[in-house]
Amino acid sequence: MNLVTATDVVSAAAKIAPFIQQTPLLHLPGERLWIKAENRQPTRSFKVRGALNAVGRLAEQGAGHVIAQSSGNHAQAVAYAAGRLGLRVTVVLPDTAPSLKVDAARGLGAEVVVVPPALREVTCTALADHLGAAVVRSDDFDTIAGHAGIGAEIAAELPGVATILVPVCNGGLLAGVAVAAKAANPAITVIGVEPALAADGQASFRAGHRVTWPVEDTYRTVADGLRAPVLGALAWEHIRLHVDDMLTVTEDAIVAAMDLLSAKVGERAEPSGAVTTAAYLTHDLPPGPVAAVLSGGNI
């Protein structure tokens, strides 16, 4: 299986640079925590990084129509990227997706198909065949390489960083950040964070192989962007090589972290983006500076 390298990270960062923000690291007063504010990206989520790189590669290969399935943020990102590159775009969303994310995808030019959560993947695959569209997966090689720029930026902007906390859905973000962080400094501890109600990633990490949770279980969490029932196959291969640990947080801790981020650093975090701050507040972490990826603010 072909894995993302530091060279791929540099190449992706150069390709997407004209379209994204190099987001700031914001210090939480009185703490050893810095917040990587990816909610400031054009679609208010980190997802735009990977989508721009992946859709750009597909455009170079002659694709005229792309399709993605998503809980919401990946859909917006793919629609944004397709719009910038002149491609037609279709997205498949669950009927539980917040209306804010559905409306935003349509506003960015996407044709939106809404289905029950368990039918997202099969519907996307069937539509791709029917429409002749190229699928943009949230843990594709090019998507992971695009996301990895976050890890590279943290390592460059906070040279003494000891620990990086990363939200986990299907693992594409965690995989990319881990590759880039370990390339910059192998001593950096990279930790994935999930809601306790959707902890298939931690279960996989502990078992040493991918573990699938029922969709009805993962959809209990308020963190709608972290409800994937299993880690992506390619993401998992990076995670098992480069990630140091996986932690979980409670629903109450997520909400408390959202409130803290708003009050102390003035950032609007969706529940999925607040899990890393929740982990900092509720777990004992290695000594030294900690960076938490605030992955999105679509709330």
* pLDDT for res 71: 83
> What sign has the CA pseudo-torsion 216, 220, 225, 228?
negative
Beta-bridge partner residues of 189: 163
Which residue of the set 36, 47, 101, 182 is catalytic? 47
The three-state DSSP-derived secondary structure of 220-255 is CCCCHHHCCCCCCHHHHHHHHHHCCEEEEECHHHHH
The model's pLDDT over 117-160, given as tens digits with 9 standing for 90+, comes to 989 999 999 999 999 999 999 899 999 999 999 999 999 999 99
The pTM score is: 0.94
Q: Are 71 and 175 in contact (CB under 8 A)?
A: no
pLDDT of residue 186: 98
**Would residue 71 show up in a list of annotated catalytic residues for this protein?**
yes
Q: How much is the pLDDT for 149?
A: 98
Strands 163-167, 290-294: pairing is parallel
Sign for the CA dihedral angle at 21, 22, 27, 28 comes to positive
- Residue 79: is it exposed, middle or buried by C-beta count within 10 angstroms (0-12/13-18/19+)? buried
The answer to whether 3 and 232 have CB atoms below 8 angstroms apart is no
Please report the pLDDT score of residue 45 as a whole number: 95
Closest to 67 measured CA to CA, from 143, 142, 125: 125
From 71, 138, 204, 295, active-site residue: 71
DSSP 126-151: HHHHHHTPEE--TTSHHHHHHHTHHH
CATH 3.40.50.1100 in the chain, residue ranges: 6-45+147-294, 48-141
Q: What are the beta bridge partners of residue 247?
A: 193
Specify whether the CB–CB gap between 198 and 226 falls below 8 A: yes
Looking at residue 72, what is its pLDDT? Answer: 85
> What pLDDT score does 1 carry?
79
264 is catalytic: no
Task: For residue 140, report the phi and psi dihedrals to the nearest 5 degrees.
Answer: -65, 160
Given 3.40.50.1100, 1.10.1530.10, 1.10.357.10, 3.40.50.300, which CATH number is that of 48-141?
A: 3.40.50.1100
Q: Which residues pair with 111 in a beta bridge?
A: 90
pLDDT < 70 regions, the chain: none
Residue 93 C-alpha from the chain's centroid: 16
The CATH code of the domain at 6-45+147-294 is 3.40.50.1100
